[in-house]
Amino acid sequence: MAICCCYYTPANFRIPQSTQVSSADPRLRCNLSLPSRTPISLAEPDPICTSVKAFAPATVANLGPGFDFLGCAVDGLGDTVSISVDSKVHPGEISISNISGDNAKKLRKDPLWNCAGIAAIEVMKMLGIRSVGLSLSLEKGLPLGSGLGSSAASAAAAAVAVNGIFGNKLGVEELVLASLKSEEKVSGYHADNVAPAIMGGFVLIRSYEPLDLIPLKFPSEKDLFFVLVCPDFEAPTKKMRAALPTEIAMPHHVWNCSQAGALVASVLQGDLVGLGKALSSDKIVEPKRAPLIPGMEAVKKAALEAGAFGCTISGAGPTAVAVTDNEERGKEIGKHMVEAFFREGNLKACANVKQLDRVGARLINSTKH
Amino acid sequence: MAICCCYYTPANFRIPQSTQVSSADPRLRCNLSLPSRTPISLAEPDPICTSVKAFAPATVANLGPGFDFLGCAVDGLGDTVSISVDSKVHPGEISISNISGDNAKKLRKDPLWNCAGIAAIEVMKMLGIRSVGLSLSLEKGLPLGSGLGSSAASAAAAAVAVNGIFGNKLGVEELVLASLKSEEKVSGYHADNVAPAIMGGFVLIRSYEPLDLIPLKFPSEKDLFFVLVCPDFEAPTKKMRAALPTEIAMPHHVWNCSQAGALVASVLQGDLVGLGKALSSDKIVEPKRAPLIPGMEAVKKAALEAGAFGCTISGAGPTAVAVTDNEERGKEIGKHMVEAFFREGNLKACANVKQLDRVGARLINSTKH
């Protein structure tokens, strides 16, 4: 197969000084843009199976004071992407053969304008795939624009699937970078959905240049349930972002910073009461966004009164997210939240109670040669 | 002895709703202001010894992005307070008999205008001491206005000493509240020095109303050394506070918030590299304060070049603090920092390499009846 050539350079990856080499060194030129943890391989990899299927979970970004740098994955909701080697597709290219799910018609099949397509193409570029054509099929399990990381789940599933069919040559960071290319196109260069969608659990995005991700391990012996209540209401990310203040008063900055610290400590210490308290404590973003989602303030109140440890807006909304340690109590909390959306916001809503996803995007099926 | 009467109400302690009672309930009226974890005792306690001596450590507040809500204690530097039952002092009052140390002359002996005196009086009020007079002696081990929590150490040592002589009836929160009264008078109502001075280790101040403190345990098996370089320069807290911006741009807010989260995660995970990186990452406070301390930017650069994991201003300065995992390396780093203060700031400075104090203020001596 062909030798990989240096036609991919992720814009947001800084080359560590120690690995910088002069352009006269042909051995490393091809791989300069890839992090050192990636196995250096100059050869284009062969597919190790004819088809694979990957699932990526829904994600809750922001988590109150974790605005724009913290997110976590939620099990049991998500998108599924199947990838097949397809001799009818031009080598080095990808074609979207099918999109299924309630919102299938709203999504484009042009891979350059589809989240799964963009991430898949990026992974192919990173791997230097030029000899094989791929066909992609997307099962859209998540509603669009709901605040549950719908675009990130499509991108993450596609990135993991393409990586999987070629033998998992890329590491987590590359998959996040590939998925970020997709996020950049649809909602902005933020990794607080794609990072947990790929890595599972809670992930703190420390920086982008270089990409620096900190997984925050929630203790395995503890239960954590998310009550996700999604109203029948559109809250476009752009509008929700435009509602944010451009300047923050120092006391609010200090407050939110301390709550962000408390949130991180609560996750690592498995302190659900503390986690809930931190989740509910945002004084900067939630107060601006909640009024744009009819009934949200009442929904939060209803969740807390029903025994939730905390409640806030998931991502840019309109989904409301509450946390609890018990599935049955979660259902009861969800019922009250749905009622509040209807009573105060005149909105129909549906509730899901889901556990923390500790795994992230994964291959769920593969067919060998 | 006399029955405690309700003449003390800490201004910043909110009474939990569940414990609120009508003023007709005489049983609880006396203790309304004390947190529920305090053993309820209506009787004024007797002294259990004739004299005690307590030590409280120096503290590093702010820690870069932990501005105004995070601090930690540093072993081997601090203030010492001795308290004796003194029949010559009016019952229920305290007298400062002696202040020793390099800066003794700069401190007032009027207990209402001395950090140790103010905290001691607060603890006496909390305990309802009206039948015993006390004498206080302060050994001032810390330089004044250095950014090492000098006032907090005096207050913490005094609070712990008075509590100790009466049998340790008060809990940590009450001691922090008592010491906060002192901080309020000298530098503002901030607990990021007094809380770690009393509790040891790293402490996150989550809120003041109610007071909510989160101890962050740095793993016991790991070493953490602070290189504290104190230049011969005055940086008054008020001036350093006046230099701060009143409004923060959203991108800087998000950046510092994420670094604060990373700082907390690094402490709990014992990740020294991450801790150092977070310490050095502040984009809001340090850039405004560093230019007011001659040579500070060069000192930070020198620390990092000498192998420190991170470096920033300790508290409001002028002390520079760097972190490392090795005492010998710490001394080498300190040497380079001292040189940089002299070369770039024309300031003499002295370096100390000290470990994290995991204990906090403690009784070090007591004389029984």
Judged by CB atoms closer than 8 Å, whether chains meet at A261 and B67 is answered as: no
B230 and B252 within one domain: yes
**pLDDT at A286 exceeding the cut of 50:** yes
Q: Answer whether residue A29 shows pLDDT above 70.
A: no
- Residues in A touching B206 (Cβ below 8 Å): 258-259, 262
* Range scoring the smallest mean pLDDT among A11-25, A104-118, A202-216, A344-358: A11-25
Would the CA dihedral through A195, A201, A207, A209 be positive or negative? negative
Residues A69 and A178 in one domain: yes
Place of tokens 């989160």: B214
Q: What's the per-residue H, E or C state across chain B?
A: CCECCCCCCCCCCCCCHHHCCCCCCHHHHCCCCCCCCCCCCCECCCCCEEEEEEEEEEEEECCCCCCCCEEEEEEEEEEEEEEEECCCCCCCCEEEEEEECCCHHHCCCCHHHCHHHHHHHHHHHHHCCCCCCEEEEEECCCCCCCCCCHHHHHHHHHHHHHHHHCCCCCCHHHHHHHHHHHHHHHCCCCCCCHHHHHHCCEEEEEEECCEEEEEECCCCCCCCEEEEEEECCCCCHHHHHHCCCCEEEHHHHHHHHHHHHHHHHHHHHCCHHHHHHHHCCCCCCHHHHHHHCCCHHHHHHHHHHCCCCEEEECCCCCCEEEEECCHHHHHHHHHHHHHHHHHHHCCCEEEEEEEECCCCCEEEEEEEC
Alpha-carbon span B125 to B39, nearest angstrom: 16
Q: Does B247 touch chain A (CB under 8 A)?
A: yes
Higher pLDDT, A17 or B163: B163
- Pick the more confident residue, A92 or A186: A92
Within a domain: A17: no
pLDDT in tens, B120-166: 999 999 999 999 999 999 999 999 989 999 999 999 999 999 999 99
Asked whether residue B34 is assigned to any structural domain, the reply reads: no
- Tens digits of residue pLDDT in A128-159: 999 999 999 999 999 998 999 999 999 999 99
Is residue B247 scored above 90 in pLDDT? yes
User: Facing residues of A100 across strands?
Assistant: A139
Distance from CA of A261 to the nearest CA of B (A): 5
| Residue A103, pLDDT score | 81
Q: What is the mean pLDDT of chain A?
A: 88
B94-130 tens-digit pLDDT: 999 999 998 888 889 999 999 999 999 999 999 999 9
> How crowded is residue B179: how many other Cβ atoms within 10 Å of its Cβ?
35
A209 and A285 belong to one structural domain: no
Q: Are B249 and A250 a contacting pair at CB < 8 A? A: no
**Domain for residue B41, yes or no?**
no
Q: Higher model confidence: residue B77 or residue B366?
A: B77
Give the pLDDT score at B35: 39
pLDDT, residue B259, reads 98
Burial class (CB in 10 A: 0-12, 13-18, 19+), B234: exposed
* Range scoring the smallest mean pLDDT among A27-36, A83-92, A105-114, B73-82: A27-36
Whether residue B304 lies within 8 A of chain A, CB to CB, comes out as no
Residues above pLDDT 70, as percent of chain A: 88
Residues listed for chain B: 369
What secondary structure does DSSP assign to A53-89, as a single string?
Answer: EEEEEEEEE-TTTTTTTEEEEEEEEEEEEEEEE-TTS
Predicted confidence band of residue A6 (pLDDT cuts 50, 70, 90): very low
Residues B72 and B191 in one domain: yes
Which residue out of A70, A250, A283 would a mutagenesis test of the B interface target, given it has the greatest number of B Cβ atoms within 10 Å?
A: A250
What confidence score (pLDDT) does residue A241 get?
Answer: 85
Query: Do both A69 and A203 map to the same domain?
Result: yes
Residues 6+ apart with CB under 8 A from B102: B140, B143
Q: Is A32 a residue whose pLDDT tops 70?
A: no
In a domain, A367, yes or no: no
Q: Burial of B242 by CB count in 10 Å (0-12 exposed, 13-18 middle, 19+ buried)?
A: exposed
Note whether residue A92 is domain-resident.
yes
* Selected residues 177-236 of chain A with any CB under 8 Å from a CB in chain B: 204-207, 214, 216
Q: Which of A206, A249, A253 sits opposite B258 (nearest CB)?
A: A206
The answer to whether B260 contacts A257, with C-beta atoms less than 8 Å apart, is yes
pLDDT value at residue A41 = 54
pLDDT at A161: 98
Tell whether A365 is covered by a domain: no
Helix (H, G, I), strand (E, B) or coil at A136: strand
Instruction: Identify whether A115 is part of a domain.
Output: yes
Is A16 touching B (CB cutoff 8 A)? no
Rounded Cα gap, residues A252 and B106, in angstroms: 36
Shared domain check, A229 and A202: no
Beta-carbon separation of B264 and A259 below 8 A? no
Among the candidates A215, A241, A273, a domain finishes at A215
**Dihedral of the CA atoms A71, A74, A80, A85 (nearest 10)?**
60
Nearest Cβ partner of B66 from A68, A261, A269? A261
A263 contact residues in B (CB cutoff 8 A)? 261
Whether the bond into A294 is cis, omega within 30 of 0: no
Instruction: Report in angstroms the alpha-carbon separations of A30 from A130, A208, A322, B147, B316.
Output: 15, 22, 47, 50, 48
pLDDT of residue A18: 33
pLDDT value at position A31? Answer: 28
Please check whether residues B276 and B179 belong to one and the same domain.
no
d(CA A274, CA A260) in angstroms, rounded, equals 11
Residue B16 identity (one-letter amino acid):
P
Domain with B272 in it: 225-355
Q: Between B247, B260, B261, which is nearest A247 by CB?
A: B247
pLDDT of residue B10: 33
Residue B369: the pLDDT is 60
Same domain, B129 and B184: yes
Asked whether the beta carbons of A322 and A226 are under 8 A apart, the reply is: yes
> Of A215, A233, A250, at which residue does a domain stop?
A215
Q: For residue A142, what pLDDT is reported?
A: 94
Across-strand partners of A322? A227, A311
What pLDDT shows up at residue B41?
A: 53
How many distinct structural domains can be found in chain A?
A: 2
Please check whether residue B100 touches A, CB under 8 A.
no
Report d(CA B11, CA B181) in Å as an integer.
Answer: 9
- Confirm if B80 and B48 have CB atoms less than 8 A apart: no
> CA A40, A45, A46: angle at the middle one, nearest 5?
160
> What is the ipTM for the molecules in this complex?
0.87
Q: What is the mean pLDDT of chain B?
A: 88
Q: What is the pLDDT of residue A301?
A: 98
Minimum CA–CA partner of B262 in chain A: A206
Contact indicator for A59, A71 with CB cutoff of 8 Å: yes
Tell me the backbone φ, ψ of residue B181, rounded to 5 degrees.
-60, -35
Residues A202 and A319 reside in one and the same domain: no
Residue A186 or A72, more confident: A72
Who among A68, A248, A261 is closest to B260 (CB)? A261
- A16 confidence band (pLDDT: 50, 70, 90): very low
pLDDT in tens, A192-245: 999 999 999 999 999 999 999 999 999 999 999 999 999 999 877 778 889 999
Answer with the one of A189, A215, A241 that is the final residue of a domain.
A215
Is there a contact between B193 and B246 (Cβ–Cβ < 8 Å)? no
d(CA A65, nearest CA chain B) in Å = 8
Q: Is the same domain home to A152 and A236? A: no
Would the CB atoms of A258 and B65 count as touching at under 8 Å? no
Distance in angstroms (rounded) separating the CA atoms of residues A64 and A334: 19
Sorted by sequence, the CB contacts under 8 Å of residue A233 that are 6+ apart come out as: A293, A294, A318, A345, A347
pLDDT score, position B21: 30
CA-nearest of A294, A291, A289 to A345 is A294
Residues A195, A54, single domain; the answer is yes
Statement to judge: residues A58 and A198 lie in one domain: yes
Q: How does residue B36 score in pLDDT terms, banded at 50, 70 and 90?
A: very low
Look at residue A25 and tell me whether its pLDDT is greater than 80: no
Q: What is the pLDDT of residues B194-244, one digit of tens each?
A: 999 999 999 999 999 999 999 999 999 999 999 999 999 987 777 888 999
CB within 8 Å: A69 and B257: yes
> CA separation (Å) from A326 to A76, A274, A314, B80?
16, 16, 20, 49
CATH number, residue B345 = 3.30.70.890
In this structure, what CATH number is given to the domain that contains residue A124? 3.30.230.10
**B67 in contact with A, Cβ within 8 Å:** yes
**pLDDT value at residue B2:** 31
Residue B8 in this model has a pLDDT that exceeds 50:
no
Q: How high is the pLDDT of residue A15? A: 30
Q: Does B65 touch chain A (CB under 8 A)?
A: yes
Give domain status of residue A103, yes or no: yes
Q: Contact B126/B8 with Cβ under 8 angstroms?
A: yes
B264–chain A Cβ distance below 8 A for any pair: yes
- The answer to whether the CB atoms of A258 and B260 lie below 8 A apart is yes
CA B58 to chain A, closest CA, distance in angstroms equals: 22
